[in-house]
Amino acid sequence: MGAGESSLVDLPRLTKADAVLSEATRRLRLVIAVRPENELEQKELFVSGKVRQPKFRYSRPAPIDMSEVESIELPNCYWGELLATTRRRLLRLHSLLGMDGELNVRDFSREVYGAPSEQLQSAARRLLSKVKFEPGKEVTWEFTRDVLQKSLDEFGLTGWTVKKAPGDFTSARTSEKTIYLTPIGKLYEGTAERLAVHEIGVHAVRSYNGDAQPLSHFSFGWPGYEITEEGLATYAELHTGLISKRAVVNYSARVLAVASLDRGQSFRHCYESLRELGLNTTLAWEAALRAYRGNGFYKDHIYLQGLLEVFQFITGGGDWENLFVGKVGLHHLDRVKADLQLNKLRRPSVVPDFLKRERKKTELWDLVSSLVSA
- Average pLDDT of 327-345? 96
The pair phi, psi for residue 180, each rounded to 5°, is: -95, 115
Residue 2 pLDDT: 46
Q: What is the mean pLDDT of the chain?
A: 93
Q: What angle do CA 205, 211, 216 make, to 5 degrees?
A: 125
The pair phi, psi for residue 52, each rounded to 5°, is: -80, -40
Residue 6 pLDDT: 55
* Structural domain boundaries in the chain: 113-373
Beta-sheet pairing, 171-173 with 138-139: unpaired
pLDDT in tens, 110-143: 999 999 999 999 999 999 999 987 777 888 999 9
How big is the chain by its Cα radius of gyration, in Å? 20
pLDDT in tens, 1-43: 444 455 676 889 999 999 999 999 999 989 889 999 999 899 9
pLDDT in tens, 215-260: 999 999 999 999 999 999 999 999 999 999 989 999 999 999 999 9
- Average pLDDT of 357-365? 92
